[in-house]
Amino acid sequence: MSDRPVVVLGADGFLGWPTALHLSAHGHQVIAVDNLVRRRWDRECGTSSLAPIASMPQRVRAWKRTSGRDIEWRRLDVCDARAMSALIAEFRPSAIVHFAEQRSAPFSMIDREHAVMTQLRNVEGTLNLLFALRDLAPDCHLVKLGTMGEYGTPNIDIEEGFITIEHNGRRDTLPYPKRPGSFYHLSKVHDSNNMEFTSRIWGIRATDLNQGVVYGCETDETALHPTLATRFDYDVIWGTVLNRFCVQAALGQPLTVYGRGGQTRGFLDIRDTVECIRISIENPASRGQYRVFNQFTEQFSVKGLAELVSQARDAHGLSTTIKHISNPRVELEEHYYNAKHQHLIDLGLQPHLLRRTLIDSVIQTVERHRKRVDLVALQKPNVDWRSGGGRAAADRQVTVA
């Protein structure tokens, strides 16, 4: 293991915080960085984490008390190029994990302001980072969170970042064609293209983790103390689908499926997210290598997930209904989907496959915080892909830093 630290950008987020803890637990010296804008977006959208979340200083102190380990906390915006460069110059990290982007598809679809803000700030932050690496830490390994949503739903197998194409009697291995489904997903495609380029011309070491939809709310480390909990989103802007189903099930509400529900995606347990990051860091890309790992463990359709939740409730003698509502997104509702995800397995990932016990445990977490559920947030109108809108649009305020 390198004796240089690992910087985690976006360390206040749903996955950034558990990643910071997991890396620290495994002996990495961790610098946790965030601009805290996610908490302000909650206020803007009228959303909040179901589980109460502590401030970053509180979290870091709780981790020290619990584990005896130090995490250094820095408040910093990746779009502040000068501060970013100073950070890299100060720590000369061996690796940087980059979660510090606006990561909600519905948020990016609210209106022009949210689309522009999502794309410009996500692209700018990553560009700042790439230039800082070129100039100050050319050997540092960039581990960047992409998304499986970059690929869309092609009618051929999805490979990991690149595909070998035979065409008119010739052959080349080229970046996998992308057809993403929101301005947010597009921002990740822009980042991927910028990263591939800078690996090629500057020799940047880069791993692009095209992550699937994450479920679950606890890792070994966040479970150690309530102050270490990470956020749990269940609203239509920030919540991921299985977590939202679990909240609906806990409240005895119908599970709401968009359209026919045949939309199929890659999914993974939050405990696998943090392991994938650790594995990527401990098996770095080489100089000039831009590699892509598809970071998920199983494929499910939305309707299939709803049925799993319903079956988990049945096992406790509880009945759940599934309600198909009109799809606010523009997407295929029945389609071929076969995405490869071998690279991380080859590096040692041992997946936590989705079991009824996980669904039970998420529902138990919801029940613990039942009084905090905002029924309005749970039921509010979705952002429509065609016309925008949604509660967040009401005040047309876009917080950018």
Which residues are marked as active site?
147, 184, 188
β-strand 162-167 against 170-175: which pairing, if any?
antiparallel
Q: How far apart are CA 47 and CA 107, in angstroms?
A: 12
Per CB under 8 A, 165 contacts a second copy: yes
What number of other Cβ atoms are within 10 A of residue 352's Cβ? 16
Closest CB to a second copy among residues 3, 166: 166
The candidate with the shortest Cα–Cα distance to 195, out of 279, 116, 98, is 98
Using CB under 8 A as the binding rule, whether residue 330 contacts a second copy is answered as yes
Among residues 1, 89, 201, 400, which is the contact residue for a second copy, using CB under 8 A? 201
Q: With binding defined as CB under 8 A, does residue 155 bind a second copy?
A: yes
The answer for residues whose C-beta is within 8 angstroms of residue 172's C-beta and 6 or more apart is 164, 165
Could you tell me which stretch among 1-9, 22-30, 175-183, 318-326 binds a second copy (CB under 8 A)? Answer: 175-183
CA distance 126 to 130: 6
* 332 is an interface residue for a second copy by CB under 8 A: no
- Please compute Rg for the chain using Cα positions: 20
326 lies in the site for a second copy, by CB under 8 A: no
Helix extents (H) in 293-373: 302-314, 343-346, 356-368
Q: Rule CB under 8 A: which of 34-93 touch a second copy?
A: 81
Least gap, CB of 181 to a second copy (angstroms):
8
- For β-strands 255-258 and 170-175, DSSP reports them as unpaired
Least separation in angstroms between CB 164 and a second copy: 9
Minimum separation from the CB atom of position 76 to a second copy (A): 17
Instruction: Mention every residue, 6+ apart, whose C-beta is less than 8 A from residue 348.
Output: 279
First to last CA, the chain: 34
Residue 180 as a binder of a second copy (CB under 8 A): the answer is: yes
Residue from 43, 75, 179, 396 in contact with a second copy (CB under 8 A): 179
Return the residue of 36, 54, 120, 308 that touches a second copy, per CB under 8 A. Answer: 120
Cα separation, 286 vs 275, in Å, equals: 20
**Any idea what the Cα angle at residue 263 is, between residues 104 and 256, rounded to 5°?**
70
Segment contacting a second copy (CB under 8 A): 53-61, 176-184, 222-230, 307-315? 176-184
CB of 382 to a second copy, least distance (A): 15
Q: Which stretch binds a second copy (CB under 8 A): 38-46, 181-189, 258-266, 353-361?
A: 181-189
Residue 251 Cα distances to 138, 246, 270, 366, angstroms: 51, 9, 23, 9
Hey, which residues between 340 and 399 contact a second copy (CB under 8 A)?
Answer: 385-386
Residues of this chain that interact with a second copy (CB under 8 A) are: 81, 111-112, 115-116, 119-120, 123-124, 127-128, 131, 154-157, 163, 165-168, 170-172, 174-183, 186, 189-190, 193-194, 196-197, 200-202, 330, 336, 385-386
